[in-house]
């Protein structure tokens, strides 16, 4: 028998509040090209990206600590497939432990030839030093910075 | 206190495929429910409560689709509960059904659900939305990238190669070729996998699970009910759950508690199940395992978390055939999540497949003499884990 289909596209708008902690972080990033973490007083760990409370000690974080701009790659991937509403491939991103931080923050890796997966992956291997690059025009968003090989 | 025994008396699963244009969403749930009810031979009146297995709504494209599915499980005028722990949803649903029976609240509970991932053209776009909109969604994090990043750390720590990953695919596709319910049943070679295109380095197309459509259902009952009605059953003897914290970047760097290379919270969940079942030496006491691994690299850390290999040693043992049907401890004899992934019921199928194995009803992919097995499910940001031991 003839089987029918019905196509539907969801297009929904949200305006998300960042809250006090992420707002302060992104204002520093936007206005001063500086990156900060939040220290958990109980464990002494500096959490980057900054959070209002520690998921381990469950205490509020108490202090802003400047971190970076240098750091080391903790993990990465290189995406070669196109996905709807995601950036056009190829692109590389991963997690970097910034100097002075105890946890890693996600960001893009730029300034790298990604045409040969194996060669690009070798350059991004875990432990590689990177430097933060700040966008010329910053809007207070994770896209205001990325990492390049040191 | 020793937990009362809870038995599995009915199992239903679809023949999984990309699309099912002959069946609406509730039709697909109903299909699995009818199979499970037929196996146990009970009427819907015998069901005291229902647990509905449904992961992110956007995958089926119906908000709170349990509203539509309630009739397919015969839910009218009965207790009804929807469960969602992402990829772990199916095993969390079986666990919720288990607790309903073990607590004495119900004698017989039906758990069921379905997914139509193949109808969603943008599943990675949907899954990108499970990340926080501030720090990680814009990266853009997704489930493939998240687990590719685990693979990168596993490679670095233990020396896994892309060929090793490919051998997981070869094994599971061979297993799936024996399982008439599996979605990807065509056998492949290491060369085929290596030649498939990169999706998210080091994961290639054939290292990825498919987008599957199909339903799953299970009927659980108390030991007293099973004995009084002289029903055939296999037994859930261990149940565990464990969650991980949210931030992926905390599972690396200095002083991390868990390394994203491994599956630390999964290992804790499995240990809880083993402890409940009285298992002290899984490599000797476990005959078969169905471990949730949607990408080839993640099967290695799952095998290790299940204690079926020491940490960092699963690769050579898999390469030697220890986890293939006919080997010492077959892992994912159904072909696993790598060959079939109807997300809402995938982790339920892990339990169902272990149950079929210890029941001796697994057909062409039967592990000879299997009496005790372990099943697992992983959900969220590699974050919610459920595990179960099933015995004959």
Which residues of chain B lie closer than 8 angstroms to A107, CB-CB? Answer: 139
Are B139 and A18 inside 8 Å of each other by CB? no
A22, A93, A103 member nearest B250 (Cβ): A103
Residue among B21, B153, B201 whose CB faces A78 most closely? B201
Q: Which residue from B156, B198, B249 is facing A95, i.e. has the nearest CB?
A: B249
What is the Cα–Cα distance from B334 to A10, expressed in whole angstroms?
Answer: 35
In the CATH scheme, what is the code of domain B6-121+211-228?
3.40.47.10
Mutation target vs A (from B18, B247, B249; most A CBs, 10 A cutoff): B249
**Least Cα separation, residue A84 to chain B (angstroms):** 6
Please tell me if residue B148 touches chain A, with a CB cutoff of 8 Å. Answer: yes
| β partners of residue B50 | B80, B110
CB-based contact (8 Å) between B260 and chain A? yes
Count of positions (residues) in chain B: 392
Q: What are phi and psi of A51, to 5 degrees?
A: -130, 160
> What is the Cα–Cα distance from B272 to B386, expressed in whole angstroms?
10
Q: For residue A83, what pLDDT is reported?
A: 93
Indicate yes or no: CB of B61 within 8 angstroms of CB of A10.
yes
CB of B230 within 8 Å of a chain A CB? The answer is: no
Q: Considering only CB atoms, which chain A residues are within 8 Å of B247?
A: 47, 49, 51, 55, 103
What pLDDT, on a 0 to 100 scale, did the predictor assign at position B1?
52
Across the A/B interface, how many CB contacts are shorter than 8 Å? 132
Domain locations in chain B as residue ranges: 6-121+211-228
Chain A residue with minimum CA distance to B142: A86
Mutate to test the interface with A, among B135, B148, B162, B257 (most CBs of A within 10 A): B135
**B37 Cβ partners below 8 Å, 6+ apart?**
B10, B12, B43, B44, B110, B217, B219
* pLDDT value at residue B255: 63
CA distance B84 to chain A (A): 22
Chain B nearest-CA residue for A141: B134
Which of A8, A45, A120 has its CB closest to that of B61?
Answer: A8
What residues make up the domain containing A75?
A: 19-149
The structure tokens listed for A19 are 């809250």
Residues of B in contact with A84 (CB under 8 A): 121-122, 125
Note whether A38 and A93 are within 8 A (CB): no
Say what the pLDDT of residue B271 is: 98
Residue A88 lies in a domain: yes
**B252 at A interface, C-beta within 8 A:** yes
Residue A54 in any domain: the answer is yes
Please tell me the predicted confidence (pLDDT) of residue B254: 78
Chain A contact present for B216, CB below 8 A: no
CA distances in angstroms from B351 to B11, B19, B89, B198, B336, listed in the order given: 10, 24, 12, 31, 11
Q: Which residue in chain A has the smallest CA separation from B140? A: A86
Rounded Cα distance between B382 and A24, Å, is 29
Tell me whether residues A84 and B153 touch, CB distance under 8 A.
no
Instruction: Assess if residue A30 is contained within a domain.
Output: yes
- Chain B residue whose CA is closest to A56: B245
- Residue A8 falls inside a structural domain: no
Give the global pTM: 0.97
- Among A75, A86, A125, the residue with its CB nearest the CB of B252 is A75
Nearest to B249 among A80, A83, A106 (CB): A106
DSSP B197: P
Please give the radius of gyration of chain A, using alpha carbons only, rounded to the nearest integer. 19
- Do residues B111 and B348 touch, judged by C-beta distance below 8 A? yes
Give the pLDDT confidence score for residue B256 in this predicted structure.
76
Per CB-CB distance under 8 Å, the chain A contacts of B136 are 106
Residue of A nearest to B254 (CA): A102
- On chain A, the residues whose CB falls within 8 A of the CB of B140 are 86-87, 93
- Whether omega for the bond prior to residue B140 falls within 30 degrees of 0, making it cis, is yes
Let me know if residue A4 belongs to a domain. no
Residue B319 to residue B167: CA distance in whole angstroms: 7
- How far is the alpha carbon of B15 from chain A, nearest alpha carbon, in Å? 19
Most B-contacting residue of A106, A122, A139 (CB-CB within 10 A), to test interface = A106
Q: What is the mean pLDDT of residues A132-143?
A: 96
Give the pLDDT confidence score for residue B253 in this predicted structure. Answer: 80
> Greatest CA separation found in chain A?
68
What residues have CB less than 8 Å from B88, skipping those under 6 apart? B292, B347, B377, B378, B379, B380, B384, B385, B386
C-beta atoms of B124 and A77 within 8 A: no
B138 touches chain A (CB under 8 A): yes
CB contact under 8 A, B125 and A84: yes
Q: How many residues does this entry show for chain A? A: 150
On chain A, the residues whose CB falls within 8 A of the CB of B135 are 22, 49, 105-106, 142
How many domains does the structure of chain A reveal? 1
Please give the helix or strand (H or E) that residue B167 lies within, else none. helix B162-177
What whole-number distance in Å separates Cα of residue B108 and Cα of residue B3? 17
Q: Which of B61, B142, B252 is nearest residue A95 as measured by Cβ atoms? A: B252
By C-alpha distance, which of A9, A6, A30, A8 is closest to A18?
A: A30
Low-confidence ranges of chain B (pLDDT < 70): 1-2, 255
Do B106 and B49 contact (CB within 8 A), yes or no?
yes
């990108």: which residue's tokens? B128
């Amino acid at each position: 028998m003839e089987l029918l289909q019905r196509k539907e596209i969801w297009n929904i708008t949200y305006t998300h509040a960042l809250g006090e902690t992420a707002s302060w972080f992104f204002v520093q990033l936007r206005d001063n090209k500086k990156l900060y973490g939040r220290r958990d007083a109980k464990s002494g760990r500096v959490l980057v990206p900054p959070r209002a409370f520690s998921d381990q000690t469950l205490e509020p974080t108490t202090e802003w600590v400047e971190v970076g701009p240098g750091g080391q790659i903790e993990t990465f991937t290189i995406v070669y497939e196109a996905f709807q509403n995601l950036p056009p491939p190829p692109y590389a991103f991963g997690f970097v432990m910034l100097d002075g931080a105890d946890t890693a923050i996600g960001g893009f890796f730029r300034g790298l030839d990604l045409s040969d997966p194996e060669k690009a992956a070798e350059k991004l291997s875990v432990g590689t030093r990177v430097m933060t690059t700040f966008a010329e025009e910053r809007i207070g968003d994770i896209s205001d910075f990325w990492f390049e090989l040191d | 206190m020793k937990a009362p025994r809870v038995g599995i008396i009915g199992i239903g699963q679809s023949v999984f495929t990309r699309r099912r244009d002959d069946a609406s969403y509730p039709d697909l749930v109903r299909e699995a429910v009818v199979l499970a009810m037929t196996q146990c031979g009970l009427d819907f009146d015998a069901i005291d409560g229902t647990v509905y297995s449904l992961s992110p709504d956007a995958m089926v494209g119906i908000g709170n689709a349990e509203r539509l599915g309630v009739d397919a499980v015969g839910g009218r005028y009965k207790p009804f509960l929807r469960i969602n722990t992402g990829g772990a949803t199916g095993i969390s649903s079986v666990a919720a059904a288990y607790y309903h029976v073990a607590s004495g609240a119900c004698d017989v509970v039906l758990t069921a659900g379905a997914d139509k991932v193949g109808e969603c053209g943008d599943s990675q776009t949907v899954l990108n939305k499970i990340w926080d909109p501030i720090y990680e969604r814009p990266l853009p994090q997704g489930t493939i990238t998240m687990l590719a990043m685990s693979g990168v750390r596993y490679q670095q720590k233990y020396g896994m190669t892309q060929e090793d990953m490919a051998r997981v695919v070869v094994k599971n596709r061979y297993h799936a070729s024996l399982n008439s319910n599996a979605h990807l049943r065509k056998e492949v070679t290491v060369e085929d996998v290596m030649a498939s295109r990169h999706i998210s380095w080091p994961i290639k197309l054939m290292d990825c699970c498919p987008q599957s459509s199909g339903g799953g259902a299970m009927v659980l009952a108390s030991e007293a009910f099973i004995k009084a009605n002289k029903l055939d059953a296999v037994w859930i003897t261990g149940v565990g759950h464990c969650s991980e914290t949210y931030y992926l970047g905390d599972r690396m760097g200095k002083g991390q508690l868990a390394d994203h290379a491994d599956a630390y919270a999964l290992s804790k969940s499995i240990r809880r199940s083993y402890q409940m079942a009285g298992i002290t030496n899984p490599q000797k006491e476990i005959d078969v395992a169905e471990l949730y691994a949607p990408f080839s690299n993640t099967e290695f850390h799952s095998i290790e978390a299940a204690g079926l290999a020491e940490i960092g040693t699963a690769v050579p043992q898999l390469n030697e055939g220890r986890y293939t049907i006919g080997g010492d401890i077959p892992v994912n004899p159904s072909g696993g999540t790598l060959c079939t992934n109807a997300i809402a019921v995938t982790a339920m199928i892990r339990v169902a497949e272990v149950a079929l194995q210890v029941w001796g009803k697994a057909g062409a992919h039967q592990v000879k003499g299997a009496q005790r097995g372990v099943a697992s499910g992983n959900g969220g940001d590699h974050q919610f884990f459920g595990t179960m031991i099933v015995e004959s």
